[in-house]
Structure 1
């Protein structure tokens, strides 16, 4: 894989853009199942949302996104990236979550390919355009991070934390929990992100998707929720 030499500052600025809450484009439209718990009356305030977010981070994000990033860094040939994409698509049981990941991933891929091109990223974009690939945001970000020379732990933490922040911002307006409570929660979430980063280092390809069934069930139930704010 050909990498474009970058300075530490360049990498930091790239991460600030691609891990900003504005990306992946469309993240503000997805609750990834916490709206189902709102509908049930389980999530009603900042603390009950925090309980859900901790579970989501230490379970679903650890056993999906964090492992996906690590597997991209482990790959020695581009064909392994395509194989990983197939695994990622297969493990996403809830239809809304699978579709949301692909939509957001494709948007991120377009932006990243223009601003931070690399050999594998370009090859992957070509495959996504020709075939029905998952194009998961974690996979796209990992290709960018690898191309820019990020360390794997740093790449995992960036992605997981960015996802957590997007969900907190969605909860600020949906639950609602308030901006100050959201910032306090963002501070608490750093511990969960650290746990996810450390735990994922012990996991591998065969662990992708091994998450708490209740989270996925809630995501599937969201598909038939009568009234909702979010697409997933």
Structure 2
């Protein structure tokens, strides 16, 4: 079991070349609006991002796909691939999630190949699927026989760690504050995993309107460090 966690540590590394380092997913809008100014205000923002975007969309999809693989309900992969794509209202965010998902699928298909991931990548190449990191992460974790809650926590941490490293550059924050944030969000991630496990399919897609508006406004910012 310990050896199966090493690949997840690799995927959680903010330097893993998935392309996530190019995206702020709307948080840069708050930075330019001076609603995010420092470590404390960013922690509040990232807490909202976790409890809404990650719990009700990305994280919940990761859980559903993991359970679908356990029960051999393979058609759920395409279902949630499409739902994740259409439920993202901001074009930049929708495109960003797709690019990260495709990149992650290609990398993991070479590093940790499995039948489900290969089929998913083939569907992406045939334009039958869009690609999303949460689905890829679930497939890799299932293939490595990682426990579901561990996989969920690792996926949420991978998303948050990339955003924190982007905040270090974008606000900017010091590297020490960035590491402190990685410690402080661990309790938030633990609570998010517990919340995800209590949700039903009908809960999927509930997001924060403020965050979605910030993601839409991002493409009109005069100066941008990030693609979304």
Classify the TM-score, shorter chain.
Answer: over 0.9
What's the counterpart of residue 50 of structure 1?
A: 43
Counterpart position of 1:74: 67
1:111 aligns with 2:107: yes
Q: Distance in 2 between matches of 1:120 and 1:78?
A: 8
Q: Secondary structure at the match of 1:224?
A: coil
Bigger shift: residues 218-227 or 15-24? 15-24
Decide which of 185, 190, 196 is 1:200's aligned counterpart.
196
**2:145 maps to which residue?**
149
Q: Is the 8 A contact 2:56 2:196 kept in 1?
A: yes
TM-score, structure 2 as length reference = 0.95
1:121 corresponds to: 117
Decide which of 25, 31, 36 is 1:38's aligned counterpart.
31
The question of whether the paired residues in 2 share the 8 Å contact of 1:23 and 1:108 is answered with: no
- C-alpha distance after superposition, 1:62-120 (max 9, x if no partner): 11111011110221222221112111111111111110111111111111111211111
Q: What corresponds to 1:22 in structure 2?
A: 15
Moved over 6 A (4+): none
For residue 180 of structure 1, what is the aligned residue in structure 2? Answer: 176
Alignment of 1:163-174 (within 5 A): 163-174=159-170
8 Å CA contact 1:96, 1:231 repeated in 2:
yes
Report the alpha carbon displacement of residue 142 of structure 1 after superposing the two structures with TM: 0.5
Q: Tell me, in whole angstroms, the C-alpha distance in 2 between the residues paired with 1:221 and 1:140.
A: 28
* RMSD between superposed Cα atoms in Å: 1.2
Counterpart of 1:64? 57
Match of 1:131 in 2: 127
Structure 1, gaps ≥5 residues long = 1-7
Q: Scaled by the length of structure 1, what TM-score is found? A: 0.93
* CA–CA separation in structure 2 for the residues paired with 1:73 and 1:26: 23
Distance 2:42 2:139 in 1: 31
Q: Secondary structure at the match of 2:219?
A: helix
Conservation of the 8 A alpha-carbon contact between 1:71 and 1:204: no
Give the C-alpha shift of residue 203 in structure 1: 1.3
